[in-house]
């Protein structure tokens, strides 16, 4: 295979008809080029969606109360009920699969446009939420200052953690909000932190940047909610399956609140783990489709090379006959033809691979340089392992493309080949 004369013969054969060689090589070039571009674009789409989720605990679920649909234990259908503070400790004590639990309640929504927060001569309409310290672990965020802690809850402290948009509205650009006071529903709160959300695609009740977090117990007292909890955000332990933990949690809460075991309407719930699995399935499907389309395009180019090699074999019939007459074995002739096919396929495919990776990197560089941000597309890339797989497929395809022409070449009898016209 590495005989110098054989390689000289390969180069001479390809040079005889440069246009034909270039057009044939372009088919393989375009196939691998499009495969790399599609894989890079698919990765950019996945990165964009994944980055939008930030470090949100994807094995989390959320449960809230609704009206019952089945009468039970003397209670009528359509009964409304609420979670209570004692449900928190009960869940921690009985559902051992829970890693984090963050009960919460919304005190005032900014949806009606009413200004509910005041600082000096500035006002704003923001979403006020009562939170637990564990919420920061469920939905991580960048914080200047600190988040709420257990002491804030126990002492019902009047402290607040504000979103970046809240800071922009109530404070001057050069002003530090930490330690300053804001008035919510006529009550003064001290700002202890300013947060910036790490994800933008998972949101519950108002934009995060326009949200103010205060201790759950403080909000309950401020809004006269007593011990009512609005809903639970729960994260399962790493080795637990969140949907199973969700089912166990709802059965436990149903028993505590006198809900019929078969009442599917009493609880509203949302399982992020299931949504994340569906999203991963979608991206896996997209990647599989990309490989199918890309390999199909590549095979079209390879078939073109196989056809051209058949033409080349026909043109070299007399030459092959001379080789056979001088003692060349069928295996030597076959190796020669397959080598030509692999060489042409590999070179053209490698150029397409480099061009595709180069274009993906250029797009990524441009997005970074010009700070173009898109929640659905970010950091297009092609893994090194993917490039290697594509190259291996390319070499295999090249060898496959040469098999039929090689069989055609060795099927010609030396005597018949010598009689063939030039």
* pLDDT given for residue 251 in this prediction: 95
Give ∠ CA 231-213-54 in degrees, rounded to 5. 80
Predicted confidence at residue 273, as pLDDT, reads 82
pLDDT at 192: 97
pLDDT band at 94 (very low <50, low <70, confident <90, very high): very high
Higher local confidence (pLDDT), 413 or 179: 179
Residue 408 has a pLDDT of 74
Strands 211-215 and 127-131: parallel
Percent share of the chain, pLDDT over 70: 87
User: Residue 417's pLDDT band (boundaries 50, 70, 90)?
Assistant: low
Tokens of 416: 């018949």
For residue 418, pLDDT over 60 is answered with: no
Per-residue pLDDT reduced to its tens digit, 37-58: 999 888 888 887 776 665 676 7
List, for residues 128-187, the tens digit of each pLDDT value: 999 999 999 888 899 999 999 999 999 999 999 999 999 999 999 999 999 999 999 889
The string of pLDDT tens digits covering residues 344-391 is 888 888 898 889 999 999 998 888 887 776 667 888 888 878 778 877
Query: 141-150, 217-226, 268-277, 388-397 — which is least confidently predicted?
Result: 388-397
What is the chain's mean pLDDT, rounded?
84
The upper half-sphere exposure of residue 415, i.e. CA atoms within 13 Å in the direction of its Cβ, equals: 0
CA distance 90 to 99: 14
Tallying the residues shown for the chain, one arrives at: 422
Q: Does 1 score more than 50 pLDDT?
A: no
> Which of residues 408 and 111 earns the better pLDDT score?
408
Write the CB contacts of 174 (distance below 8 Å, at least 6 apart in sequence). Answer: none
Per-residue pLDDT for 115 more than 50?
yes
223: region left, alpha or beta (phi > 0 left; psi from -120 to 50 alpha): alpha
């Amino acid at each position: 295979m590495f005989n110098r004369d054989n390689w000289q013969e390969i180069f001479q054969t390809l040079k005889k008809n440069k246009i034909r060689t270039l057009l044939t090589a372009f088919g393989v070039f375009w196939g691998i080029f499009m495969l790399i571009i599609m894989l890079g674009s698919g990765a950019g789409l996945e990165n964009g969606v994944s980055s939008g989720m930030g470090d949100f605990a994807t094995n989390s679920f959320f449960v809230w109360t609704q009206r019952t649909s089945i009468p039970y234990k003397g209670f009528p259908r359509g009964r409304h009920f609420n979670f209570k503070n004692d449900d928190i400790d009960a869940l921690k004590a009985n559902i051992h699969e829970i890693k984090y639990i963050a009960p919460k309640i919304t005190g005032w929504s900014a949806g009606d446009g009413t200004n509910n927060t005041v600082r000096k001569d500035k006002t704003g309409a923001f979403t006020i939420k009562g939170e637990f310290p564990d919420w920061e672990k469920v939905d991580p965020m960048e914080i200047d200052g600190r988040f709420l802690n257990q002491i804030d809850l126990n002492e019902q402290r009047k402290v607040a953690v504000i979103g970046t948009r809240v800071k922009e509205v109530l404070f001057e650009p050069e002003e530090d909000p930490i330690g300053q006071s804001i008035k919510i529903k006529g009550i003064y709160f001290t700002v202890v932190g300013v947060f910036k959300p790490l994800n933008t695609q998972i949101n519950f009740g108002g934009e995060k940047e326009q949200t103010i977090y205060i201790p759950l117990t403080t909000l309950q007292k401020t809004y006269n909610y007593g011990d009512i909890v609005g809903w639970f955000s729960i994260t399962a332990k790493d080795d637990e399956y969140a949907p199973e933990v969700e089912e166990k949690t709802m059965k436990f809460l149903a028993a505590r609140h006198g809900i019929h075991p078969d009442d599917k309407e009493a609880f509203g719930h949302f399982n992020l783990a299931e949504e994340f699995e569906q999203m991963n399935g979608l991206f896996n499907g997209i990647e599989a489709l990309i490989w199918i389309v890309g390999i199909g395009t590549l095979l079209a180019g390879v078939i073109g090379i196989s056809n051209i090699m058949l033409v080349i074999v026909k043109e070299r019939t007399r030459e092959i006959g001379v080789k056979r007459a001088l003692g060349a074995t069928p295996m030597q002739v076959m190796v020669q033809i397959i080598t030509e096919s692999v060489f042409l396929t590999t070179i053209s495919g490698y150029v397409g691979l480099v061009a595709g990776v180069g274009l993906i990197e250029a797009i990524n560089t441009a997005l970074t340089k010009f700070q173009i941000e898109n929640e659905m597309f970010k950091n297009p890339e092609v893994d090194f392992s993917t490039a290697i797989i594509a190259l291996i497929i390319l070499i295999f395809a090249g060898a496959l493309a040469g098999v039929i022409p090689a069989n055609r070449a060795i099927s010609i009898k030396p005597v018949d080949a010598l009689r063939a016209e030039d």
